[in-house]
Amino acid sequence: MNESEFSAHYDPTKFERPSVAVDVVLLSIDLTDSLCAVLVRRKEHPDKGAWALPGGFVRIDESLDAAAARILNEKAKLRRVFLEQLYTFGAVHRDPRTRVITVAHYALVDFRRLAASYAHVSDDLVVARLDVPWSGEAGGAVRTLDERAKPLRLAFDHARILGLAVKRIRGKLNYAPIGFELLPEAFTLFELQRVHQAVLGRKLNKDSFRRKILASGLIEPTGAAQTNVGHRPPALYHFLKEQGANHG
């Protein structure tokens, strides 16, 4: 039997198969320096009325990353944002309808970009503040709150997925340049510090933060500075070249 004969013989319908979906944890830092995520209200059973991560089924002719990018564009009208695979959730009954394995991704975006696209999308989208009940990289579920600090009920296992996304970016922040993904093109060192603080959920030492970031060689002054700030204007910086290589 040669290879083409084998391919013809192979019968993929022999196995009863799970469905494969992609969910996207779209994270940002709001104007109050809180970590937040985009949620979609479920209009259908199960968990009708609860809030869920933007998601959808993977098409037979698209990669996982392409599916995640498509969902991000369909649900939040965002393109070209930082997007990485997070973890694949495959508990047998995580979706009560049928077996659904979901490849969770996380995305990071500057809040101003999110707010701009937000105006154009449906009312069933919300940017929920995250309440992380653990410190460091302990991990666990997170709570989601609306603008009046009322809890939002999450569908399926999405509280765990959100929690894992927070844990992942907390860990990644220490060795990878991802803070910049949550900021506009030009930013001040203190804005970057506030982003780090929002992600890590704790205050950072200003002096050593400056030293470490400047020593990293990842950013460069633009030459410009902020104006109309009521005090000495901080210098603006921008992130240097990206050298990241993704998987998938």
For a second copy, the binding residues (CB under 8 A) are 1-3, 5-7, 10, 12, 15-20, 44-46, 48, 57-58, 60-65, 85, 87-92, 96-99, 101, 103, 139, 160, 164, 171, 175, 245, 247-248
Please report how close the Cβ of residue 52 comes to a second copy at its closest, in angstroms: 15
Q: 2 or 227, CB closer to DNA?
A: 227
Nearest residue (CB) to DNA, 209 versus 239: 209
For the chain, how many residues are written? 248
Torsion of CA 151, 154, 157, 159, to 10 degrees: -30
Selected binder of DNA within 4, 227, 243, 246 (CB under 7 A): 227
Backbone angles phi, psi at 6, to 5 degrees: -65, -45
Binding segment for DNA (CB under 7 A), chosen from 22-30, 96-104, 159-167, 221-229, is: 221-229
* Residue 178: both structure tokens together: 């991802």
Q: How far is the CB of 200 from DNA (least distance, A)?
A: 11
Query: Nearest approach, Cβ of 47 to a second copy (angstroms)?
Result: 9
Partner from a second copy, DNA, none contacting 225, C-beta within 5 to 8 A by type: DNA
Residue 1's binding partner out of a second copy, DNA, none, with CB under 5 to 8 Å set by partner kind: a second copy
Give the Cα-Cα-Cα angle 138, 160, 181 (nearest 5 degrees).
75
Q: Does 201 help bind DNA (rule: CB under 7 A)?
A: no
CA 119/CA 83 separation, integer angstroms = 22
Which residue of 64, 117, 225, 239 would you call a contact of DNA, by CB under 7 A? 225
Alpha helices in the chain (DSSP H): 3-9, 64-76, 111-118, 158-173, 189-200, 206-216
Taking the complex as a whole, the smallest distance from the CB of residue 95 to a second copy amounts, in Å, to 10
Integer Cα distance of 115 and 120 in angstroms: 9
Q: State the binding string over 170-199 for DNA (x if CB under 7 A, else -).
A: ------------------xxx---------
Residue type, 146: D
The single residue among 87, 118, 209, 239 that binds DNA, judged by CB under 7 A, is: 209
Burial class from Cβ neighbours inside 10 Å (0-12, 13-18, 19+) for residue 77 reads middle
For DNA, which stretch binds (CB under 7 A), given 18-26, 32-40, 136-144, 211-219? 211-219
Q: What distances in angstroms separate CA 187 from CA 47, 110, 181, 220, 234, one per listed residue? A: 40, 11, 11, 10, 9
